[in-house]
Amino acid sequence: MTHALEVSGLSVKTRSGQGILHDVSYAIAPGEVLALVGESGSGKTTAGLAALGHFRRGLAAAGGRVLLRPRDGEPVDVLTLTPQEQRKLRGSAAAYIPQDPALSLNPALRVGKQIAEVLETHGFAGSIDDRVGEVLAEVGLPSDTRYRRRYPHQLSGGQQQRVGIAMAFACRPSVVVLDEPTTGLDVMTQTLVLSTVRELTAEHGVAALYITHDLAVVAEIADRVAVMYRGDLVETGPAEQVLRRPEHAYTRRLLDAVPDLDAPGGDVTPAGKTVLAAKNLTVSYGQNRVLRGVDVSVSRGECLMLLGESGSGKTTLSQCLAGLSPGFTGTVALDGVTLAGSTRQRSDDERRRVQYVFQSPFSSLNPRRSIAKSIEVPLTRLTTLSRAQRRERVAEMLDRVRLGREVANRLPEQLSGGERQRAAIARALVTTPDVLVCDEVTSALDVSVQATIVDLLGELRRELGMAMLFVTHNIALAREVADRIAVLRGGEIVELGDVDTVLTRPSHPYTRELLTNTPRL
């Protein structure tokens, strides 16, 4: 078989000589999708970017070759090319689609112009205007002049990602590297993006390297799977074989960590008295109504999953409850006492009792402060504890989230993504709140780290008896974290019930559509 991409014996080291990749080999045929999987730090992104001859700062190839076959021309070893030759190759013979479309889209340029620039840069032979319209249609977007004149901020996240895919496929490359392109997308948008990638690779005979930590997505899109672990390729084979009959212990561990939507239901946590309740919450931005008279409540010891796709209003609702988005009408009450809309007007005790964990831990961890200092801030502002008492409470919380006191003096950048998220959770819990609001806290984490965070939150909820609102677009986590599910669509709750009822006997067509589009192993 003739492969569009052949990587053989690839080794990568740091400038100081530390090994990052060890003798990695893989190959992809035209029209085939190879999923490169592994948890954070496994080396999968380094191995994938090597296909473009790109290495992150401080890294360099230490052996092996990367043979790429352009559609028209002889195969070339990307690692032997000059930087100028590599740049010429990228975007034409090989293309890259990043996790965040903001990394590939210029906010100051209209989307049609951005696609045209790719074609102009690589000397596309033919009508550039026609090709822009053609490639927009191929990714399922309007190709008319009005749509081409939109700026990236005027598109949804899924539309932005599809424009990024259009740019990558514009010059008809032979190889495309996709780096976690659906990680931050809801299941409906994810399904659209995955089907777009699958159709384009098959139709145009493109070899696709799909880098991901989401094994359920792998089951949907991949022909073959290669598993990375600490810089080594530990297992390779057809997707059906690797996912159903894994040979390596690490692959089995990854599969065991994937949440199972179809697993038998667990015990429902006995809910106590209602602790936080919202009535008739309405939010409008100009003519756009984001929330439409929402009623929601969560009881002591209970976890309510707030589920919805991008733009459904779930983050706006959660921020209203926490006092972070005060521009609403309606009421939010804590133990029956109405709260002010903004945290600035709430008392120290009210702020202490309702805490928020952001999707990105950098939203609550100061990059210039040590982990201990960041965790201590709420205690300084919201309690009367002495300095010695605050330090002891911080140390206890570091132990409780299983970070350990040895990380106290480290900066956020010195921790892994999962460790940073645990530090952010520690910061929110250090004041022993009654309600914890978790906003997409696992969306960027690999499955094994996600499982650790989910287990940790469950343990802490049971130990502390607090209520939890778990905001997510990932319905697959429902059985792992929640007692009840509230499904939000277009600013309205369209379904509310216990986990087992919603997952097995959904009453609303939208819930059924979400379940249908959720990837499964």
- What domains can you pick out in the chain, each with its CATH number? 5-102+173-256 (3.40.50.300), 301-329+339-517 (3.40.50.300)
Question: What pLDDT, on a 0 to 100 scale, did the predictor assign at position 158?
Answer: 79
Question: What pLDDT, on a 0 to 100 scale, did the predictor assign at position 265?
Answer: 60
Alpha-carbon span 178 to 189, nearest angstrom: 16
Torsion of CA 166, 168, 174, 180, to 10 degrees: -110
Question: What pLDDT, on a 0 to 100 scale, did the predictor assign at position 183?
Answer: 75
Question: What pLDDT, on a 0 to 100 scale, did the predictor assign at position 240?
Answer: 94
Residue spans of the chain under pLDDT 70: 1, 102-103, 264-266, 268-271
Question: What pLDDT, on a 0 to 100 scale, did the predictor assign at position 154?
Answer: 87
Bridge-based pairing state of the strands 337-338 and 94-97:
unpaired
Question: What pLDDT, on a 0 to 100 scale, did the predictor assign at position 266?
Answer: 55
Question: What pLDDT, on a 0 to 100 scale, did the predictor assign at position 410?
Answer: 92
Alpha-carbon span 208 to 29, nearest angstrom: 9
Question: What pLDDT, on a 0 to 100 scale, did the predictor assign at position 347?
Answer: 95
Across 207-364, where does the E strand assignment appear? 207-212, 224-229, 232-238, 274-285, 288-299, 303-307, 329-334, 337-338, 354-357
Alpha-carbon span 324 to 328, nearest angstrom: 11
**Which structure tokens are listed for 295?**
């009623």
How many CA atoms are closer than 13 Å to the CA of 385, on its beta-carbon side? Answer: 18
Question: What pLDDT, on a 0 to 100 scale, did the predictor assign at position 259?
Answer: 83
Give yes or no for a contact between 358 and 364, defined as CB atoms under 8 angstroms apart: yes
Give yes or no for a contact between 309 and 189, defined as CB atoms under 8 angstroms apart: yes
Alpha-carbon span 72 to 270, nearest angstrom: 66
